[in-house]
Amino acid sequence: MTKVGIIGASGFTGAELLRLCADHPDLDVRFATGDTQVGARVAELYPSLLARWPDLVLQPFSPELVDDVDLVFLGLPHGASQAIVPQIIDRVAHVVDLSADFRLHDPALYPKWYGAEHQAPELLERFVYGLPELFHDEVAGAQHIAVPGCYPTAGSLALAPLVRAGLVSTEGLIVDAASGVSGAGRAAKPTTSFCAVDEDFMAYGLEGHRHTPELDQNLGATVRFTPHLVPMNRGILATCYARPTGATSTAELLAALREAYGDAPFVVVRTDSPNTKATLGANTAHVTALLDERTGYVVALCALDNLVKGASGQAIQCANLICGLDETFGLPSIGLMP
């Protein structure tokens, strides 16, 4: 068994890690921290976890906790991992960080997109960007993982095979994506209360969302990214637009997706439009692409569950790979319907 700890288990991604670890054949959770909820049982915060975690209590963080585990998941807010990782990275074999703190290769991007200098830029090169469908060998050979953001996962899975095949230009890429409210985190905010989001649909981050440089990095492009908030709990649907580099067809675009994801257990290539409900609760992304002959645009779409393939499920997929396990262990591939 692989002994694991979860630092930052009181939020949605932490709870999702616990849900997925509950039925995992190899991951044995030894501790969970939650500094804002110290002393609370996780089952008090999330009754859905009662069947597996009736007595697990959230502890305060201390570096010594990691000495007795093999792998640590960090489910912390953006910025918090930069202070903790230097304290633990040489005390534990593997760190899997779900925040944005070690995703970007260039430390100069952090002040622009996250509003502060990176506190540990010397550690960035020790993390591998954890999107297995695009960087499988790098992930499998890594020691530490930076789990991608939910929006970049969706946009990159839709577009990267088409970019890599030379079918679409890296100039003028557009990603419009809509996410459920859980993507904003567990903390109460005026803009994400029930009354604020119910019967509403809005775009945000219009002057530049912090996930934009991840998309640029993954696609080797300058991407125009616009996120939207929709009144549902989970899910992301990314609709992406690109200009073809030459003559192409819907059949050729779909063939490129099928070739790219032929061995990927968690990507389904569809000929119809992907929908978020089909991915609910699963670590599976549904993708498609088509040529709009009237306008000349290539349209590529991806649907996924932002808390599973967009966060905690992807973290466990990466953990499986770096621990030498089958990447599918403990991860559902079938969504909940209805």
Helix or strand or coil: residue 249?
coil
Answer whether residue 189 shows pLDDT above 90. no
Instruction: For residue 318, indicate whether it is catalytic.
Output: no
Q: Where are the domains of the chain?
A: 2-148+309-322, 150-306
pLDDT band at 184 (very low <50, low <70, confident <90, very high): confident
pLDDT tens string 212-267 = 999 999 999 999 999 999 999 999 999 999 999 999 999 999 999 999 999 999 99
For residue 183, what pLDDT is reported? 85
pLDDT band at 309 (very low <50, low <70, confident <90, very high): very high
pLDDT band at 294 (very low <50, low <70, confident <90, very high): very high
Mean predicted lDDT score pLDDT of the chain: 96
pLDDT tens string 81-99 = 999 999 999 999 999 999 9
Mean pLDDT of 7-18: 96
pLDDT tens string 125-179 = 999 999 999 999 999 999 999 999 999 999 999 999 999 999 999 999 999 999 9
Question: Mind giving me the DSSP string for 278-306?
Answer: GGTTSS-EEEEEEE-TTT--EEEEEEE-T
For residue 192, what pLDDT is reported? 85
Q: Kindly give, in sequence order, each residue whose CB lies less than 8 Å from that of residue 285, ignoring residues fewer than 6 positions away.
A: 133, 153, 154, 157, 266, 267, 268, 279, 302, 303, 304, 309
Q: Kindly give, in sequence order, each residue whose CB lies less than 8 Å from that of residue 2, ignoring residues fewer than 6 positions away.
A: 26, 27, 28, 70, 71, 319, 323, 325
- Domain 2-148+309-322 in CATH: superfamily? NAD(P)-binding Rossmann-like Domain (3.40.50.720)
Answer whether residue 190 shows pLDDT above 90. no
Q: Which of the following is catalytic: 21, 150, 302, 318?
A: 150
> 232 near 181, Cβ under 8 Å?
yes
Per the document, the length of the chain is 338
Hey, what are 272's tokens?
């119809």
The DSSP code for 244 is: B
pLDDT tens string 27-70 = 999 999 998 899 999 999 999 999 999 999 999 999 999 999 99
The CATH number given to 150-306 is: 3.30.360.10
Answer whether residue 186 shows pLDDT above 80. no
* Residue 291 CB-density burial (10 A; 0-12 exposed, 13-18 middle, 19+ buried): buried
